[in-house]
Structure 1
């Protein structure tokens, strides 16, 4: 139903029955307190990668530092450290510096009273840079004294709305000061020199392994969270070699670069620092790259000694350096106020520069392959980094009275019991180690596929091979209760060159001729063709599609065919399984709607793309297997960064509540459980004030007295807490992870509020990342066991596989819907040739992300 129809029917749908009474509620914007820890499940001894932090100081002193002339942050650190070495009086205080403007000391600088400032001057030169004079101006910050005792108070009785940020920031800078000088800092991570351990991941990039460090406030004790960190760095290599890595076989330096090649190289080269050899006899200089210009060295002109010349001629005649590849574009480097053009062949990328761009699929695969280690090995790496960091030998930490434990924190967790899953004919299955079988089971609500077509984009895969795969798919469907007819046709197109594929035309022709329920699309490989097909099917044509790789067709194994059937059944409105009454959480026995929400943001360098939010909600009150969705496109205000908040959440919630009401015999949900993905701790109160209010407003907009009980949880996966079994006999699988269902809600959890870490999936590769849940609001006064069991059980309702997944199905679906919309938008930009420095109109972006297909098209 379109938005206009929903608005018109709202008055008729939500009308209270005469006997209904609604109690007015007053809401507090403060997370509920934990009343008790959970008790369900068997106990298990665990180790967490949190290390106790003992704090002996009660106050520190804050000063502002201004360094002139301006310099980048890493360079400021080195200038500051050089100045401290030259000033013995200041050095004895062991001051620490954050590389921007904040300096802290453990003792007050009595020679620097309020209103006065100290000036330090020095001469300093970076490698390959000329020597310059720098001035440091130091003065008291306001306030100067920073009280540290609120940290110790917080770990005893703290609340999210009163985090002692100034004290935490001060100690964080203390702990980071020396590592930032010894290692390469990237955000909160530190990367030692890799030596001969460097791992090439392709594309001119290499994998560096370091450690992550952050202060965490657990029960009665502040701690440092230490974890392994992995980052892609640009390989130190000649720029010509970097071009070859980026462009592959298409790169021919003799011919120069085509426009698309220059754009691809520009994406990787912008802002990189390069070393430039000035002629055969000249010295070396370093510059930051602005971009590759369109002109080659042969054509680019500038003024030298009062007359116009080309870059090629200047290097040949003046610097006695004939260019080998004059047809390549020049690098524009240095100040943007100047036009300094340098031939690419004379430049080399400087070592130690992190890659901030999005990695390619092969690079990501290589990263995973080289970083996914069993849990016990990861713990050993973490303990090794703690020894390498030498926290307790750092004179700055000693000066400030900080001491870090040598051993990680021990904690008692629990392994929750697995739910009993319900299939057709009341058959049930109980997962073991997060996995279960469909053998002799039929889907709870199996749909038939009577009219469908195969669209084969891989010229290597012959029709006979496709039909063999189809036979296996039909057999697998029959075993799970789906009746899958023979496909109406196998349409073959050449999808080798993505830019020559017209997926809209292909799907429109199939739709108009066959009017199929589904088109199964065979793709040659993982590339942009997937986005092109999904953009065409979901948005342009309104044709439901399911994609499969050609190598999957060739392999043709039964388990893959069954997995595809699960996806198709969900897309067509069926339900694969549900929770059996014996283990169904009691809170689901009254009408409950479960929401999931997520927001995806564009990369920082792509200003032409909006943020995209997705909101999904369970529409079947019995099994919570079918979900409706809304996709919301939101643009940041001019000059501001993308916002995590969902701007139009009220409308999305309101419309989904109406869908639930219609599909459940005009039953209103009495409870709302909302899983909100992707919110950081610093945004908790902002979410509560903005999004929780919108959920309430959506309810009262339908009916003034409609006030269902709301439980609002934040789902966090981007954190660095890891759990390890203290006894290897308690581990699960080859990766030696903790078993699925492992939950921790004490010691490393919030001191007073209801939060918990849950490992709900079996870690197949690498170390399992627990998902962190934090309850921001709860009208139902649920216990820890109520919420932990509900969360864990909903991780078994994801329709793609017969495994419990890492987060509840609704938040997983919201994530998929948001990223599918992002793929639609990217495809729209590609098809319409809108570059990174351009922007689609809001109307175009909204249309590009608005699907025409069935509710669960994103599965």
Structure 2
């Protein structure tokens, strides 16, 4: 087994520049760093005691600089920069040498009228870390004369911190972005969206760039807390609160404002800060507390007697601060600049999207406007380190790749399509392989009164006609129709529908068509859990509003999904346009790991692979595993790949000679570890099937989570509808790695906002791809995503792996298991064997 553990040293170098396609030029949201620091940079480790939240750390640091910069040469007139956590970078050695301890006094500032408290004392310890950061070595890397060493990484990190230091000291910063309340916009429920700017230093061939992008995040609206309560409850006016609020509303408000920081406003010139812990169950006029002398008084009367404040809203509950202090809501003001960390609800998310959705031109203009906020020219820290940043966006060479031919059944009126602008229609086309639907039933989760059988039958006629016209075969035009309670026994209802389908058609049921009353997840999730893991039958869900209208376009979309769920094939690419797949048996795999949201770390992560099944690369099979939460590497990859290799062999009768693995969900810092572990796992899977079996492997990381955007310069190379770059735009110079094999591909037609190109980075390649062959293969594959007749932004195997992990979240019964790792695993439903070979996840 020597073979399986073979070592991988260096990622693939760029095999030259691609030639295919029409040359064009695009603007990017990168700016040249015209001069990089020439001096060696010194790094210090910083410890601030007592520990304080990040917000305050920067204040303490700023105070330290102000206090010591000109004092007895402690800082030798130098301006070091701080990353806000542990590291300080300085352009020269500070006079105190290897280590120093300093005392800093920070005055308490509780707003304009705060009473003066004594200043707080802090101790700052600085300790020099490691050797100097040698900038000359970074230049070697940028010019492809040395590998990316630890020293180069530290040099890039230091430049990142130098660029971000000043904006982070002056604005609210989160991660690599800082936010300003300028142009803020209110969204639903007492929140506001602040515009932010993301910035990051990035290496490319021969130089360093700074990537600047827009970001946005939600903050709590400052001002009277009463106004926020009005917005949370979606009321028109504070007067609507005079009568008080229901218990349900009280809980809703409490959930929304817990941990919010507020000032009190009932004493002249003496405001204090508090953190809201909860609300009282009783209103202010009925909330009693002990005066300390054995007598009790209600909060309303207390504030009237003590502070001469008559409450306007005595029927509202009080906020509880410091465990036992009660403050009437109207005596609290929300402190500005607090991030909204709770998950936004649907309305807030919709408002947020409206705010952030900008056409490419508007986005580019707003990024340029951000340069004024950043004021690089006036930044004394950049000057100190000898850095200059250009004010012009970088313009790079790009190409627009040729459009492939999408093929349908030869009997179609129009069987070969050359998509225009990344879109085409299903009209006059028959699916490449139409499935036959004989045994099925319809299950409406609505009563006869809400949706009667006559309406359902009208829809079914339109739906069956559309499917037949598109080449499916539906001999059974009258499936049985059943009704069920959407909050009743879903599993029982589906089993009943399954039995009725089988008994009516005297054949194994193929599909249950489910009609849903709404968009809600719980019912949908339960249908999928039961269909996929309990009964093992394909389910197709449709919302009742679509059944009532029976539109052709919707029927066509459902037809595309249903056909592949039944093992059919919708379309394929002209074989000579994907030679890598068609010339020799080739397995395409997409891999993804999905984690649960923040605060759900105890829930396991889900890993999925989707593998192509034939020479047309249109049909895929899936395999899933549950693994430790937040673990990025696919733990059981060897067995998963074995599943796909076996299915491929059963389908084609041949073993794949090459494997192209597109891996999603990996950040740069994890490249080496993921590659090392996962290539060895793929190797081991092959050898477990046969000791001498060794297909050639190519491993490509696919990334969508990045901040690179392209803006077309040439009118002819623009997608007219959205103003984005045309589909097929590929960029491999100017903003890519100095010498490794990576490229950006914008394969889809933008619908709204600014499109995000997909970044492909080849980590390992035994198949000898050149730039053209991998770029055109990846682009051409984006034309055969089975769900729609448009090019998509991601190669389908990865797209499918996403769908599989999303679906797998519904296969787990959290509520019934302990939330321990094993408990969760025990209740994880396995997809039935027959379904794993068809695209049940569509």
Q: Return the TM-score normalized by structure 2.
A: 0.88
Q: How does 1:374-413 map to 2 (within 5 A)?
A: 374-413=359-398
Moved more, 577-586 or 760-769: 577-586
Distance in 2 separating the partners of 1:333 and 1:610: 36
Q: Which residue of 1 aligns with 2:695?
A: 708
Q: Which residue in 2 is equivalent to 1:52?
A: 32
Question: Residue 242 of structure 1: CA displacement?
Answer: 4.7
The whole-number CA distance in structure 2 between the counterparts of 1:736 and 1:191 is 27
**Structure 2 partner of 1:181:** 169
Corresponding residue for 1:491? 482
CA distance in 2, matches of 1:238, 1:718: 38
1:121-179 per-residue CA deviation (whole Å, 9 max, x = no partner) reads 34343536955323242423222632222322221125457572211221111111111
Give the conservation status (yes or no) of the 8 Å contact 2:604–2:628: yes
- 2:233 pairs with 1:233: no
**Match of residue 101 from structure 1:** 86
User: Which of 384, 399, 419 does residue 404 from structure 2 map onto?
Assistant: 419
- Equivalent residues in 2 for 1:707-856, closer than 5 Å: 707-825=694-812, 828-829=813-814, 832=816, 839=819, 842-845=822-825, 847-852=827-832, 854-855=835-836, 856=839
**1:101–1:80: structure 2 CA closer, same or farther, 3 Å change rule?**
same
Q: Report the Cα distance in structure 1 between the residues aligned to 2:674 and 2:43, rounded to whole angstroms.
A: 31
Equivalents in 2 of 1:489, 1:177: separation in Å?
67
Distance 2:603 2:231 in 1: 27
Structure 2 residue 30 is matched with structure 1 residue 36: no
Cα deviation for residue 118 of structure 1 reads 3.6
Q: CA deviation at 1:24?
A: 9.0
1: distance between equivalents of 2:534 and 2:434? 28
Asked if 1:466 corresponds to 2:466, the answer is no
State the distance in 1 between where 2:105 and 2:791 align: 61
Aligned equivalents of 1:823 and 1:583: distance in 2? Answer: 38
What is residue 210 of structure 2 aligned with on the other side?
224
**Following the alignment from structure 1 to structure 2, what is the Cα–Cα distance between the partners of residues 247 and 541?**
43
Contact 2:101 / 2:123 at 8 angstroms: preserved in 1? no
Deviates more, 1:229-238 or 1:385-394: 229-238
How much has 1:742 moved relative to structure 2?
0.7
- Corresponding position: 1:435 with 2:431: no
Is 1:633 the counterpart of 2:626? The answer is yes
> Which of 36, 54, 66 in structure 2 is aligned with 1:73?
54
1:857: how far off?
A: 2.0
8 Å contact from structure 2 (residues 580, 586) kept in 1: no
Q: Give the one of 468, 471, 474 matched to 1:478.
A: 468
Report the CA distance between 1:342 and its aligned residue: 5.4
Separation in 1, partners of 2:391, 2:291: 62
Structure 1 stretch displaced more, 293-302 or 41-50: 293-302
Counterparts of 1:32-181 in structure 2, within 5 Å, are 32-53=12-33, 54-89=35-70, 90=75, 92-110=77-95, 112-127=96-111, 130-143=117-130, 145-157=132-144, 159=147, 164-181=152-169
- SS in structure 2 of the partner of residue 806 of structure 1: coil
Alpha carbons of structure 1 residues 324 and 845: separation in structure 2 relative to 1, 3 Å: farther
Q: State the shift of 1:316 in Å.
A: 6.1
C-alpha change, 1:726 and 1:332, in structure 2 (3 Å) is same
Q: Residues 350 and 716 from structure 1, CA distance in 2 versus in 1: closer, same or farther, beyond 3 angstroms?
A: same
Equivalent-residue separation in structure 2 for 1:512 and 1:176 (angstroms):
64
Which secondary structure state, in structure 2, belongs to the residue aligned with residue 739 of structure 1? coil
Match of 1:535 among 524, 529, 550: 529
Any gaps of 5 or more consecutive residues in structure 2?
Answer: 503-508
**1:209 matched to 2:170:** no
Match of 1:600 among 594, 598, 601: 594
Structure 1 residue corresponding to 2:353, chosen from 352, 368, 377: 368
CA contact (8 A) 1:276 1:285 kept: yes
Counterparts in 2 of 1:243 and 1:166: CA distance versus 1, 3 Å? same
Give the SS at the match of 1:284. coil
- Structure 2 counterpart of 1:4: none
User: Judging changes above 3 Å, is the alpha-carbon distance between structure 1 residues 805 and 316 closer, same or farther for their aligned structure 2 residues?
Assistant: same
Looking at structure 2, the residues matched to 342 and 526 of structure 1 have their Cα atoms a distance apart, in angstroms, of 40
Range moving further from structure 2, 671-680 or 98-107: 98-107
| CA pair 573-360 structure 1, distance change in 2 beyond 3 A | farther
Aligned equivalents of 2:28, 2:339: Cα separation in 1: 28
Cα-to-partner distance string for 1:69-123 (whole Å, 9 max, x where unaligned): 322112221232233234341494222222223222223222x122443433343
Closer, same or farther in 2 for the Cα pair 1:292/1:795, shift >3 Å? farther
- Give, in whole Å, the separation in 1 of the partners of 2:297 and 2:808: 47
1:562 counterpart = 2:547? no
Alignment of 1:669-684 (within 5 A): 669-684=656-671
Counterpart Cα distance in 1 of 2:533 and 2:310: 54
Q: Is the 8 A contact 2:5 2:680 kept in 1?
A: no
54-63 or 730-739, which deviates more: 54-63
Alpha-carbon distance in 2 for matches of 1:374, 1:357: 28
- How far apart, CA to CA, are the structure 2 residues paired with 1:623 and 1:393? 58
Instruction: Give the paired residue count.
Output: 811
Stretch of structure 1 that moved more, 535-544 or 682-691: 535-544
Q: Is the 8 A contact 1:333 1:341 kept in 2?
A: yes
Q: Distance in 1 between matches of 2:692 and 2:250?
A: 61
Q: CA deviation at 1:719?
A: 0.3
Cα distance in 2, alignment partners of residues 473 and 628 from structure 1: 27
The match for 2:506 is none
State the distance in 2 between where 1:151 and 1:298 align. 68
Q: SS state of the match for residue 600, structure 2?
A: coil
Quote how far apart the aligned CAs of 1:523 are: 2.7
Q: Does 1:858 align with 2:838?
A: no
**Could you list the per-position Cα deviations for residues 322-380 of structure 1 after superposition, in whole angstroms to 9, with x for gaps in the alignment?**
8888897765656xxx6666566654443322333333333322222332222112111
Q: By how many angstroms is 1:824 displaced? A: 4.1
Distance 1:494 1:409 in 2: 59
1: distance between equivalents of 2:310 and 2:690?
Answer: 79
Change (3 A) 1:301 1:688: farther
216-225 vs 511-520, which moves further: 511-520
Inter-CA distance 592–847: structure 2 relative to 1 (3 Å threshold): farther
1:551 equivalent among 527, 545, 548: 545
- Give 2:505's aligned residue: none
Greater alpha carbon shift after TM alignment, 206-215 vs 220-229: 206-215
Aligned partner of residue 812 in structure 1, secondary structure: helix
Is the 1:79–1:124 contact (alpha carbons within 8 Å) kept by the matching residues of 2? no
Q: Is the 8 A contact 1:733 1:763 kept in 2?
A: no
